[in-house]
C-alpha cells in the first residue's frame, strides 16, 4: 500500500480547522500542516460559544482555511487520497459546514469521504506525535466530554465510565466565569492558580473512593461559584483557583486509578498504556497528577503535545487516515450527528 494523504476538517465547536497529514504504509504519521482559526474573539463578549455565530464564522472561513492548509502542506487536491471531516458530536450548524465542504471536495475530486467522530479524533490525537500502539486506556477530558474508554483499535472503544453531570472542561469554564475570568475559562483559571494555596478552601470531594469510574462535577461547580462571591482579595482568588484545579485533578486521578485497576486485570497486566486527551489535558496540574497515577499503577503515561489537546483538524485527518487504511469510508449522504457517543 502506498502513503495516504488526507485533508482533515474540524468545525464542531468554535475553531475552524484544516490539516493535511501523510500516513505511510507502515503507519508513520507526518502532519504537513495544521491551521486553526479560533473564534474566541467573536464569542468572548457573550462569555461562551454562541452556536449561530459559530456556524456563520465557519461558513466565512472554511474555504480559506482549507486552502491555507493545502498550500502550507505543498499539496494540490489531486494529491489527496481522501477527505476526513468531523460529522459530530458538536454544534450541528458548525458540523454541517465542515462536513458539506468535505463532501463537496470528495465529490468534485472523486475521493473517499470519512465522516469522523470528533471524539475518535481526540482518542487518536496522542498518536500524532508518538508511536502509541493499540490498545490503550483513554481519559478523554474536554469541554463537552469526560469519559474513560478502553480503546481496542480503530473505531473500537469500550466505555468504562463517564460524567453523570458536567464535563471537566465545562466545570473549569463555569467556575472561571464566576471568578470573573474571560472565556475560555480553563486556561485563564490555570494562570490565576499559579502561586495560589490549594488548601486555603475546602471543596466537595464528589465520588472520591466510590465504586465505578463515573465522574461528577456539579457539586464542585456550585460550591466554587458560591465561594467566588465571597472572595475579596487577589490572594483569595488565586487560592480558590488553585483549590478548584486541585479538586478537578484529584477527581480525574481517583476515577482513572479505578479504571486502571479494572483495565489491568482484564489485560492480565500486559500492555498497560494510558493516554489523556482533550482540552483539559493541556492543564499542567491535571497532567502532573495523572502522571503520578499512571506511574503508581505501572502504566505508561502519554498525552498529545499541547497544540493537539484542544480542537484541531490534524487529529481528524489521522482518525480518517486510520479508517481509510482499513477501507472504512462513508457515503456522500453521511449525516451530521449532533449527538454521537463513541
CB of residue 119 vs ligand KG4: minimum separation in angstroms?
A: 8
Residue 89 binds to ligand KG4 (criterion: CB under 6 A): no
CB of residue 118 vs ligand KG4: minimum separation in angstroms?
A: 6
Residues that bind Zn ion (CB under 5 A): 142, 311
CB of residue 316 vs Zn ion: minimum separation in angstroms?
A: 10
**Is 47 annotated among the ligand-binding residues?**
no
183 binds, among ligand KG4, Zn ion, none (CB under 5 to 8 A by kind): none
CA–CA gap between residue 233 and residue 276 (Å, rounded): 34
**Is 286 annotated among the ligand-binding residues?**
no
Q: Select the residue interacting with ligand KG4 from 4, 7, 13, 73 (CB under 6 A).
A: 13
**Is 43 annotated among the ligand-binding residues?**
no
The CA angle 132-80-306, to the nearest 5 degrees, is 35
98 binds, among Zn ion, ligand KG4, none (CB under 5 to 8 A by kind): none
Residue 186 binds to ligand KG4 (criterion: CB under 6 A): yes
Max CA distance (Å), the chain = 64
Q: Which stretch binds ligand KG4 (CB under 6 A): 58-66, 108-116, 169-177, 288-296?
A: 169-177
3-state helix, strand, coil in the chain (%, to 5): 45, 20, 30
**Is 140 annotated among the ligand-binding residues?**
yes
Q: What is the 3-state secondary structure (H, E, C) of 95-160?
A: HHHHHHHHHHHHHHHCCCEEEEEHHHHHHHHHHHCCCCCCCEEEEEECCCCEEEEEEEECCEEEEE
- Cα separation of the two ends of the chain: 28
The packing angle between helices 92-109 and 51-73, to 10°, is: 30
Q: Which stretch binds ligand KG4 (CB under 6 A): 57-65, 100-108, 183-191, 262-270?
A: 183-191
Q: Which is nearer to ligand KG4, 61 or 86 (CB)?
A: 86
Q: Which residue has the cell 478537578?
A: 248
Q: Which is nearer to ligand KG4, 164 or 307 (CB)?
A: 307
Q: Scanning residues 144 to 163, which ones bind ligand KG4 (CB under 6 A)?
A: 144
**Is 173 annotated among the ligand-binding residues?**
yes
303-to-166, 220, 308, 313 alpha-carbon distances in Å: 22, 25, 9, 17
Catalogue the E-assigned strands of 222-292.
273-277
CB of residue 142 vs ligand KG4: minimum separation in angstroms?
A: 3
31-to-105, 156, 305 alpha-carbon distances in Å: 20, 24, 13
CA–CA gap between residue 91 and residue 94 (Å, rounded): 6
Q: Which stretch binds ligand KG4 (CB under 6 A): 22-30, 139-147, 233-241, 328-336?
A: 139-147
CA–CA gap between residue 65 and residue 59 (Å, rounded): 11
Q: Scanning residues 249 to 278, which ones bind ligand KG4 (CB under 6 A)?
A: 278
Q: Select the residue interacting with ligand KG4 from 98, 102, 279, 304 (CB under 6 A).
A: 279
Binding positions for ligand KG4, rule: CB under 6 A: 13, 142-144, 169, 172-173, 184-187, 190, 278-280, 282-283, 310-311
Binding site for Fe cation, by residue number, is 118, 122, 311
Amino acid at each position: 500500500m502506498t502513503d495516504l494523504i488526507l485533508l482533515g476538517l474540524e468545525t464542531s465547536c468554535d475553531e475552524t480547522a484544516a490539516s493535511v497529514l501523510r500516513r505511510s504504509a507502515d503507519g508513520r504519521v507526518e502532519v504537513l500542516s495544521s491551521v486553526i482559526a479560533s473564534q474566541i474573539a467573536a464569542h468572548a463578549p457573550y462569555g461562551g460559544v454562541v452556536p449561530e455565530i459559530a456556524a456563520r464564522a465557519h461558513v466565512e472561513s472554511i474555504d480559506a482555511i482549507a486552502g491555507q492548509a493545502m498550500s502550507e502542506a505543498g499539496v494540490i487536491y489531486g494529491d489527496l487520497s481522501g477527505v476526513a471531516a468531523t460529522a459530530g458530536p458538536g454544534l450541528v450548524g458548525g458540523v454541517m459546514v465542515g462536513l458539506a465542504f468535505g463532501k463537496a471536495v470528495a465529490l468534485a475530486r472523486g475521493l473517499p469521504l470519512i465522516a469522523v467522530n470528533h471524539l475518535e479524533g481526540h482518542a487518536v490525537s496522542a498518536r500524532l506525535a508518538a508511536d502509541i500502539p493499540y490498545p490503550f486506556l483513554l481519559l478523554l477530558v474536554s469541554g463537552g466530554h469526560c469519559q474513560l474508554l478502553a480503546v481496542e483499535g480503530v473505531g473500537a472503544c469500550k466505555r468504562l465510565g463517564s460524567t453523570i453531570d458536567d464535563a471537566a472542561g465545562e466545570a473549569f469554564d463555569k467556575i472561571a466565569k464566576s471568578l470573573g475570568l474571560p472565556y475560555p475559562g480553563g486556561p485563564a483559571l490555570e494562570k490565576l492558580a499559579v502561586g495560589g494555596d490549594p488548601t486555603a478552601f475546602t471543596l466537595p470531594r464528589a465520588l472520591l473512593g466510590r465504586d465505578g469510574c463515573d465522574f461528577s462535577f456539579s457539586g464542585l461547580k456550585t460550591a466554587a461559584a458560591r465561594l467566588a462571591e465571597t472572595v475579596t482579595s487577589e490572594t483569595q482568588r488565586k487560592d480558590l483557583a488553585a483549590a478548584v484545579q486541585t479538586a478537578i485533578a484529584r477527581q480525574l486521578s481517583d476515577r482513572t486509578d479505578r479504571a486502571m485497576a479494572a483495565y489491568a486485570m482484564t489485560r492480565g497486566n500486559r500492555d498497560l498504556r494510558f493516554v489523556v486527551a482533550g482540552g483539559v489535558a493541556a492543564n499542567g496540574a491535571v497532567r502532573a497528577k495523572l502522571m503520578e497515577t499512571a506511574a503508581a499503577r505501572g502504566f505508561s503515561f502519554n498525552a498529545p503535545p499541547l497544540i493537539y489537546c484542544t480542537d484541531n483538524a490534524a487529529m481528524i485527518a489521522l482518525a480518517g487516515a486510520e479508517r481509510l487504511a482499513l477501507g472504512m469510508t462513508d457515503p456522500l449522504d453521511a449525516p451530521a450527528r449532533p449527538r454521537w457517543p463513541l
